[in-house]
Amino acid sequence: MVAPMKAPLPVQTRGPLPARTDELPFPLDLRRDQTGALHAQLARQIREAVLSGLLPGGTPLPGTRTLARTLGVTRGVVEAAYAQLLADGTAQAQVGRGTRVRDETPAPVPDSAATACAVPAWLPEIPPLPVDRAGVRPGIDFRVGVTGTATLDRRAWRQAWADAAREELSGDYGDPAGTPALRAALAAFVGRQRGLGAQAEDVLVTGGTLHALNLIVRALLPPGSRVLMENPGYRAARQVLLDAGHEVIPVPVDVDGLVVNADTPPARLVYVTPSHQFPLGGRMCLPRRLELLDWAARHDALIVEDDYDGEFRYGAPPLPPLAALAAQTGAAGRVLYLGTLSKVLTPSVRTGFVVAAPALLSRLVRARTLLDFGPPIQVQSALTHLLGGGHVDRHIRRSRRWHAQVRAALTGALDGLDGLAQLGGIEAGLHLCLHLHPAIPARDVAAELAGQGVQVTTLDTYTLGEAPNALLLGHGGLSAAQAGAGGRVIAGVVRSCATRAGLAPYSDA
């Protein structure tokens, strides 16, 4: 038991340590108000002094009684600290010589050299992370990539997790491709929602779209492969490819999606978002889809089809996924279909899936095994309950109505901007694109909106080269009231900027 003292324990500071001494040549500061035990604090401070060179090898340590008396602690505290130092090799004890710093303690490294050698000098610089910071920015945040959970059936959600928790635990890792039940449920789900015929053995459960793309890069692409990418496009996917050492070739997009023609260069793989081009929002028309499949066949290439929010459509008839068209045209082995439950349910479940031909899927499963041995079993069980019980389908129907109302409130608030701005990507998905007049710089509009508590995004970081003069407006995480209010502020700022640019005498009225 230590003495009942509340102030910092007294310290003794002297000059250089003589040959025989009962004190240490540096201050010791033991505090009872810290979470660490007193003996652990003492051992740590002596160890740091040894490593820094204050206590060279062979230096005797004070006797336990003397040091305990000096510090105002019990002898047991010092004995426990010395025991730690003996156990980790910092100190050594010899009969007749007491406890000393170990003779072969390495010489200290100078501070400047320690700083230089903290990490290997050959480590490359870290490029900027191409994702928005988590969390909602202040005000009305039109951040892209989030979804709301207001329409989620909380009772069904809790019941699914309760059912998963009651299942018997296994001591094994499970199937790296995912449980057979979830793979079958996902195959049936993508058939109902997207018209893609698939069996359980065609499905690999992943940790989301980027996880799936990392598996594809690891398992299917030879080093230094050429990859075509929509421009503007999904910046995080682009960075995955670049970090893996592949050559990314930007390909322009228009209202019909990725531009495919005789000038499209050959490549090993092309990454596309045909159902709702990210970020511009257009849909790849049927002739363009067939042209892309023909391009892949001519150049012996693979197609990664990212269908990140294809479940949300507003009046426009669904177009068949590239994977479904490929199966009809005899090119099924060329398309890898990527789906995700992040927009359908919530990103919190961190679950997506790949539908691919057996020859591709087996390679992806091997890569998944070596990466992390597969997805968490309890998460898979809960999602299987939600999918198999029809809860996800009902949730999608409710969410479509909800997001349609939000979209209507936003587009209604932006009416009346003819000649100043034009909306794109309104037929599907959880974001739209507001294309601005060339005399109204998107960056200036975004900065002025931020000052008024409305957060939007420009296309600069999504584009290689000159970015389209447009704003991204993600409405997945907003209510109709929030979207309408934010839209009215956006419209007012656009009109103000137009007036300053001399386009017309627009007002906020």
**What is each CA distance from 106 to 89, 90, 401, in whole angstroms?**
12, 10, 69
**Mean pLDDT score of the chain:** 88
Bridge partners, residue 236, by sequence: none
Which residues, other chains included, contact 331 with Cβ-Cβ below 8 Å and sequence gap of 6+?
A: 293, 296, 297
Query: Which CATH architecture group holds 1-123?
Result: Orthogonal Bundle (1.10)
Backbone angles phi, psi at 437, to 5 degrees: -60, 145
**Res 11: pLDDT:** 42
**Res 332: pLDDT:** 79
**Res 8: pLDDT:** 43
**Res 89: pLDDT:** 86
* Model pLDDT for residues 124-150, shown as the tens digit of each residue: 888 888 887 766 678 899 999 888 889
**What is each CA distance from 170 to 376, 377, 468, in whole angstroms?**
11, 9, 52
* Model pLDDT for residues 275-307, shown as the tens digit of each residue: 999 999 999 999 999 999 999 999 999 999 999
> E-assigned strands of 179-241?
203-206, 226-231
pLDDT band at 323 (very low <50, low <70, confident <90, very high): very high
Confidence check: pLDDT of 4 > 50: no
Confidence check: pLDDT of 172 > 80: yes
**Res 107: pLDDT:** 59
Other CB atoms within 10 Å distance of the CB of residue 21: 15
Report which of 392, 385, 355 is spatially closest to residue 187, judged by C-alpha positions. Answer: 355
Q: Give me the CATH topology for the region 154-389.
A: Aspartate Aminotransferase; domain 2 (3.40.640)
Q: How far is CA 134 from the centre of its chain?
A: 9
* Model pLDDT for residues 415-471, shown as the tens digit of each residue: 989 899 999 988 888 999 999 999 999 999 999 999 999 999 999 999 999 999 999
In whole angstroms, what is the distance from residue 380 CA to residue 349 CA? 9
In whole angstroms, what is the distance from residue 85 CA to residue 100 CA? 10
**Range scoring the smallest mean pLDDT among 136-140, 265-269, 478-482:** 136-140
pLDDT band at 504 (very low <50, low <70, confident <90, very high): low
* Model pLDDT for residues 191-214, shown as the tens digit of each residue: 999 999 999 999 999 999 999 999
Q: What is the CATH number of domain 394-500?
A: 3.90.1150.10
In whole angstroms, what is the distance from residue 237 CA to residue 227 CA? 11
Confidence check: pLDDT of 14 > 90: no
pLDDT (average), residues 32-44? 83
Confidence check: pLDDT of 505 > 70: no
- What are the extents of the domains in the chain? 1-123, 154-389, 394-500
Confidence check: pLDDT of 22 > 70: no
Q: Which residue has the tokens 């810290």?
A: 34
Confidence check: pLDDT of 105 > 70: no
pTM above 0.95, yes or no: no
Report which of 356, 495, 369, 382 is spatially closest to residue 436, judged by C-alpha positions. Answer: 495
